[in-house]
């Protein structure tokens, strides 16, 4: 009886050891791995599970598109011309609306138009457009001025000039001539001033009677 009990205990111990050995071998052959849970997303930010702090995602870099010039497109010179980048000839620079450019004024001068200087008398005596008459508004209204004005044929063109721009002297002289009662109907204003005429090299008469300048 005692021998039977002892034998059963031995088999139980051996069986338990075998089970432990098999289990150990299985654990070593197929170890259990533990994976870290992915960090949750919150409003485009990531929570670092090691620090519990939110971190910004990596920025996305966008590569700009490069425009390729059209080989058949306009040249730089054509683009500059369209943009008005080429300098304007001084003879063609416009003055106030309704006034003449230097080129237009000289064309009339060359055709025989009468030019009237509306500047101050000392400026006129120093130099003026060749053959021009000194007839500012106050003189036009005087007897001497009317006598001089009456020597101009009423059908011709009269061009008035002063210092250029919005010059009241030219406007006043034009008003006085048109209302002189002498029948003038074609009275115009040169928008550019006398100094611009000089700078363009157009005919100028000086105090000593000499004339400088030439046609453009």
Q: Where are the domains of the chain?
A: 90-206
81-90 pLDDT, tens digit per residue, is: 444 556 789 9
> With DSSP H G I counted as helix, E B as strand and the rest as coil, what are the percentages for the chain, rounded to 5?
40, 15, 45
CATH number, domain 90-206, options 3.40.50.300, 3.40.50.1380, 3.40.250.10, 1.10.8.50: 3.40.250.10
Distance CA 204, CA 157 (A): 20
> pTM for the whole thing?
0.61
Distance CA 195, CA 132 (A): 15
Residue tagged 């369209």 (tokens): 82
3-56 pLDDT, tens digit per residue, is: 445 444 544 454 555 555 444 444 445 444 445 555 555 455 555 556 556 555
């Amino acid at each position: 009886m005692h021998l039977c009990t002892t034998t059963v205990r031995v088999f139980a111990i051996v069986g338990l050891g075998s089970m432990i050995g098999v289990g150990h071998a299985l654990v070593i052959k197929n170890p259990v791995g533990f994976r870290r849970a992915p960090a949750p997303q919150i409003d485009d930010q990531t929570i670092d599970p090691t620090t519990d702090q939110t971190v910004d995602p990596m920025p996305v870099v966008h590569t700009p598109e490069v425009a390729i010039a059209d080989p058949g497109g306009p040249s730089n010179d054509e683009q500059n011309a369209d943009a008005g980048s080429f300098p304007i000839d001084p003879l063609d620079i416009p003055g106030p609306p309704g006034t003449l450019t230097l080129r237009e004024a000289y064309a009339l001068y060359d055709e025989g138009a009468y030019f009237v200087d509306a500047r101050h008398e000392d400026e006129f005596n120093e130099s003026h457009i060749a053959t021009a008459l000194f007839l500012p508004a106050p003189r036009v209204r005087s007897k001497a001025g009317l006598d001089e004005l009456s020597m101009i044929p009423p059908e011709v063109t009269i061009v008035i000039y002063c210092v250029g721009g919005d010059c009241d002297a030219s406007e006043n002289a034009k008003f006085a001539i048109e209302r002189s009662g002498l029948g003038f109907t074609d009275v115009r204003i040169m928008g550019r001033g006398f100094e611009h005429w000089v700078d363009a090299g157009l005919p100028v008469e000086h105090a000593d009677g000499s004339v400088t300048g030439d046609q453009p």
